[in-house]
Amino acid sequence: MKKQNNHINVRKAAMIGCGFVGSASAFALMQSGLFSELVLIDADKDRAEGEALDISHGVPFARPMKIYAGDYDDIVDASIIVITAGANQKPDETRLDLVHKNVDIFKQIIPEISKRNCNGILLIVSNPVDILTYVAIKLSGFEENRVIGSGTVLDTARLKYELGEHLGVDSRTVHAFIIGEHGDSEIAAWSSANVSGIPINTFCEMRGHYHHQKAMQDIADTVKNSAYEIIAKKRATYYGIGMSVKRICEAIVRDEKSILPVSGIMHGEYGIEDVSLSMPAIVGKHGIEAKVPIVLNELERTRLEQSADTLRVIIDGLDLSTGDVEKNEK
């Protein structure tokens, strides 16, 4: 192992996992101009080297940048360590179905990071992201603000896209969040949704849409089922999450104080304790700087509690002090 140091290179990032999501995220980061150095790490060293070489050939069309395959010693001074490693979600498989495989993988990865005294921010992207964010926090010993799950940033982008299409407006002017689990129990927070400050139902009527409940249900279902549809057609989703990774990194590197629905551990907000799920938070150079308590109606609060309960059942089955994935696993 190389000599450890606590210096952080704000222009350096690391990508652990070079599958579809990792390579798409690396490509998005190359185009972003946020970093001058990016190290790719994968259990398959040839895969990491191939992706680094392929992506590097796009550098002449972007900004000068060093992209290379490396190992865990190369992450010590990275300002952001993105983890996308893990088993892929298969057709008819939920994100929570991946927990057994991917917690085991994290038990190999996270200790490699923590023993090198890295001072960068961990960005967890692997699924189930809420569970794995919790696992990463507990295994790493990092301050909670330094471990961020990509959470429902992608789901929220999907919601904004669908609403933009439905209303015939620029999706960037749509302000709405998907909260809770990045998965089947996610919640569209309609009560706080608006288009440039105009309440969503009012704006819908301005555009000739009056069947609010049906439209909201249809759009929420489309968003929730997007990954299943894409996986059924092309076996994986990666471009949208790649852009989501870029957006979160952008908020951190540029210290934007952006409000993004990232995953982190709850401490009493909405009556939820010791569960990692996605809620809007201020994201800047220190990671999660503060949670933003958006207004929820009674139904949304109930569904958020149910989403937390779904995740709690999984978390309670984890034994992170041993090599076992679950206490009762045979």
**Is 10 in a helix, a strand, or coil?**
strand
Give the residue carrying structure tokens 């503060």.
Answer: 290
So what's the pLDDT on residue 323?
A: 46
**Do 148 and 288 contact (CB within 8 A), yes or no?**
yes
What is the rounded CA–CA span in Å between residue 241 and residue 19? 13
DSSP sequence for 26-90: HHHHHHHT--SEEEEE-SSHHHHHHHHHHHHTTGGGS---EEEE--GGGGTTEEEEEE--SPPPP
- Distance (Å, rounded) from C-alpha 213 to C-alpha 71? 51
In the chain, what are the domain boundaries? 9-149, 153-316
The yes or no reply on domain 153-316 and CATH 3.90.110.10 is: yes
> What are the tokens at 50?
């191939």
| CA proximity to 109, closest of 124, 98, 119 | 124
**What is the b/e burial string over 20-55, where b = at least 16 CB atoms within 10 angstroms of the residue's CB?**
bbbbbbbbbbbbbebbebbbbbbeeeebbbbbbeeb
CATH of domain 9-149: 3.40.50.720
Q: How far apart are the first and last CA of the chain?
A: 36
- In this structure, are residues 118 and 259 in contact, taking their beta carbons and an 8 Å threshold? no
- pTM flag (> 0.85): yes
Among 100, 182, 211, 267, the one annotated catalytic: 182
- Residue 242's closest CA among 84, 68, 28? 28
307-319: burial string, b at 16+ Cβ within 10 Å, e else: bbebbbebbeebe
Please name which of 33, 30, 241 lies closest in space to residue 156, comparing C-alpha atoms. 241
Q: Split the chain (330 residues) into runs of 10 and give each run's mean pLDDT.
A: 67 97 98 98 98 98 97 97 89 77 93 95 97 96 97 98 98 98 96 97 96 96 96 94 98 98 97 96 98 95 96 89 40
Can you tell me the distance from the alpha carbon of 247 to that of 156, in angstroms, rounded to the nearest whole number? 12
* Amino acid sitting at position 189: A
Identify the pLDDT of residue 201: 96
The set of residues, in sequence order, having a beta carbon less than 8 Å from that of 33 and lying 6+ positions away, is: 62, 63
Q: Is residue 117 within 8 Å of residue 111, measured between CB atoms?
A: no
Identify the pLDDT of residue 100. 82
The strand order across the sheet containing 198-199 reads 174-175, 194-195, 198-199
Q: What is the pLDDT of residue 321?
A: 64
User: To the nearest 10°, the Cα dihedral for 5, 10, 12, 17?
Assistant: 90
Catalytic site includes residue 212: no
Nearest to 227 by CA among 93, 130, 107, 132: 93
**Which residues, listed in sequence order, are joined to residue 291 by a DSSP beta bridge?**
281
Task: Report the C-alpha gap between 182 and 235 in whole angstroms.
Answer: 19
